Chain A
């Protein structure tokens, strides 16, 4: 092999390499590089907590400081994954407690985290700094109290969108008076009354606090005090709600906001009283991110607000913004990169606002840097989609949800195949796509031939036959995550593309037409896949092999079948008998 660098030199070089894929490439060079790299890797990202076991991760990377884990499939966000499906953090944390006493960061997404797990974190990791639990559940404010009481070096505590058993708000007082290292706090999902004095004191004694996202139970009159204690804030999440409009409070608030010269990101504004909105005007120019998706602000006020945010890069807003608001946005915010428009009345039969495809077309025309879109609307046309595609070939994420299923092009009554086809054809760097509306197999043909960089695809109520799925599986070379619900895809495409499944992170199919037989076959033949069937009726053997599976979750794994499955989840493996027929 000749002579090689001293290890220390290589380690030093590698310390500049952060990206996981680069580090993975480094480890493939030769054995010694593999060994050196694994000893100096500090961050690990596990996209599917069942793809690898804690033991394997620990064996490979003995000196981690930061771990990210994801649990449930994405469709869990929409109640398609039954409760108690899995995604437990405890086994990981327990293993890390023994292997990584110097672990500093844990980022968990869609996992079940118990209070016991939180206690382990609090007590076993002496230098713990960052705890992010995004869309998690299973813990209570008691667990948070243990964290507060014990983690002396905690910098970040983020509970975004997690379901917390909110026993009491006293946990905040568990931060000792000597504790001053807080930099980021996100407690928007908590609803109980928190001790406001404790919050004030905490904010006051943490000079590095940059992010403060509060629950809406924090009353408005508290906000000026908080802002005055933390003028260095970069990110704020707060309600602006009060019973009455006090001129006093108004001027205090206006003064406090003006004092926050570095404020760049604003969210919350739940239950906002429109008369308080002008207090925000002084900071609008500095804002790069504005999340108004909780705020029932109507179009005129929205326009006033948004047209002052000329540096806005990210906007999340309700469809109250309407087409006129989006036109104003397109005129004022030329730096816009990401737009999300959420429905204010998702279950209403009739549109309650005047938001159509025109709004999105305007933004696509006016905002040259726009690359990420999530848009809920009630009508769309192929020509609009083609226009958007031509305007914005730099789109990387395009998620369109037409609220009524099977909605065709409202002008021609055709399926929207051609429109989405234009999107994949023109947007060559498209990484994420969600479809809706009336769609036939044709759209999948387009996606298969053009979506070469597509990594995540979400399908619902689309397609005609297995050919659609076959186009996707055989054509999308970069596909990592595929989630499908209520599409007429059956066994053939799945079985014919079985090898593809090992190149992907996961496949979710629910309310499709994949049979038990196909699942069993896949499970038998593909040992490196976990083919999991979710069936509430009973054991798979109690249904004929030709019956369709309710929900199917297939993912690649190096650690074999799960051992923590609930009673309604079965792994199809080599032991699954195929019934003779």
Chain B
């Protein structure tokens, strides 16, 4: 396609923009290594316009598992470091090709972070992020957020520091804490993406020998397949729903109801809806606190962004209470199989699970304006709504 030649035209422009007059050279190893203990390296040379640019890939295809896991983590860190800071990690200690940091205007994100928000800001942000991701679905164990710091030291030293930090940082207890206290000026902190870095979480899992926890959208199956075995309990029209689970259970030791029952939940003022797995709870109280956890952070973020959106400090998060008894700012309602809106909490839990189609968190002040299938005072219409 014409993509190739155009790529040559376009890329140099883009690269010029980014790299200014710097060369991007990431580390290179020699040849295909077979069992050499070198770190994994890559060389990505992007020259000035007109020059052919080549990629030499010298990825180490040795099986990393044979080596110390921390070494692999180390390589990841150093490749991350080298990518963001253009350091060459030359294990031969040969020349560091690149200009490290001093000259370039772009100092890498770390300085920016320090300048603008301070480490606390980042920590706090990721905590909030953690909360959100945790609340939505089971949180995967993530390492503490770590940010790489530039230093004028040669990279080999940095590599060593990485190793030290890694050992400190990678402890199970600190899984959900922010930057370890041991971070000093010379300590290296790894940049952590907003959700758990796959590599890091993987290594963490291997280290901790725990089973992987649930992740959004994994395994990649459609929602209606998730509900397969419990669908009979969520489809109220089928009066023989009591029969089917027994049949399945008697034929095979597959437990019905182990799969989730995912129901959409929207909250006033939050643009993005969520889904909750009702089989994870067995009472209204648990559901209420789950809803609180789910939206607390989001609501704060909404207030924060509508107030101007500068993330200098975390908006104070208010617990969402009183969802069930009308005493709070918000109230939980649901839509049942007949399309009626009903207050949550009036019927026995299992009946609720059988008939609920979706959930809503509404502002209590706007409740009276809405047409509800029943109200708290009148129980009778509620009964008729649930034939």
Interfacial residues, chain A to chain B (CB-CB below 8 A): 75, 77-80, 82-84, 161, 165-167, 189, 191-193, 216-217, 241-243, 271, 273-274, 293-294, 296, 298, 320, 342-349, 352, 376, 401, 403-406, 408, 412-415, 417, 434, 438, 440-442, 445, 458, 460-462, 464-467, 470-471, 474, 477, 485-488, 490, 492, 495-500, 502-503, 511-513, 515, 521, 525, 536-539, 541-548, 550, 566-568, 579, 581
Contacts and interface: CB of A to CB of B under 8 A. Distances in A.
Contacts, number: 261
A83 B275 CA distance: 10
Given A347-B259, A525-B14, A406 B205 contact: yes
B6 A499 contact: yes
B37 interface: no
Contacts of B105: 581
B61 A460 contact: no
A325 to B, nearest CB: 14
Nearest to B193: A548
Contacts of B59: 440-442, 445, 464, 467
Contacts of A166: 337, 339
A547 B253 CA distance: 47
A376 B219 contact: yes
Contacts of B337: 166, 191-192
B333 interface: no
9 contacts: A342-B225, A346-B219, A346-B259, A414-B63, A467-B55, A536-B132, A537-B129, A538-B311, A581-B107
Contacts of A79: 216-217, 223, 275
Nearest to B240: A243
B215 interface: yes
Contacts of A343: 219, 221
Contacts of A458: 220
Contact of B220 (A241, A460, A470, A502): A460
A538 B202 CA distance: 29
Interface string B183-224: 000000001011111110010010000011011111111111
Looking at chain A's contact residues, is the secondary structure mostly helix, strand, loop, or mixed? loop
Nearest to A486: B198
Q: Which of the listed residues A487, A511, A541, A568 has the most CB atoms from chain B within 10 Å of its own CB?
A: A511
Contact of B44 (A167, A193, A346, A470): A470
B7 to A, nearest CB: 4
Interface in B237-264: 237-238, 240, 243-244, 247-248, 251-254, 258-260, 264
Given A78-B218, A406-B205, A536 B194 contact: no
B193 A401 contact: no
A465 B243 contact: no
A460 B217 CA distance: 10
B309 interface: yes
Given A77-B222, A544-B109, A581-B106, A465 B79 contact: yes
Residue in B9, B197, B337 whose Cβ sees the most chain A Cβ within 10 Å: B197
Contacts of A537: 125, 128-129, 301, 305, 311
A345 B254 CA distance: 8
Contacts of B228: 294, 296, 344
A536 B298 contact: yes
Contact of A347 (B15, B217, B258, B339): B258
Nearest to A580: B105
A470 B44 CA distance: 10
Given A417-B61, A499-B6, A296 B229 contact: yes
B40 A546 contact: no
Interface in B348-374: none
Given A442-B61, A548-B194, A405 B238 contact: no
A345 B271 contact: no
Contact of B218 (A294, A405, A467, A515): A405
A488 B199 contact: yes
A503 B111 CA distance: 36
Contacts of A242: 240
B219 A511 contact: no
A368 B55 CA distance: 39
Given A84-B272, A298-B252, 9 more contacts: A78-B222, A296-B252, A352-B254, A406-B212, A487-B198, A488-B199, A492-B44, A495-B14, A515-B109
B260 to A, nearest CB: 7
B232 A542 contact: no
B339 A167 contact: yes
Contact of B117 (A217, A401, A405, A544): A544
B345 interface: no
A566 B273 CA distance: 12
Contacts of B106: 581
Nearest to A413: B65
Contacts of A84: 271-273
B237 A217 contact: yes
Interface centre among B112, B129, B205, B273 (most CB of A within 10 A): B112
Contacts of B232: 271
Given A347-B214, A503-B1, A405 B258 contact: no
Contacts of A474: 55
Nearest to B225: A342
A83 B273 contact: yes
Given A84-B273, A499-B11, A538-B304, A488 B198 contact: yes
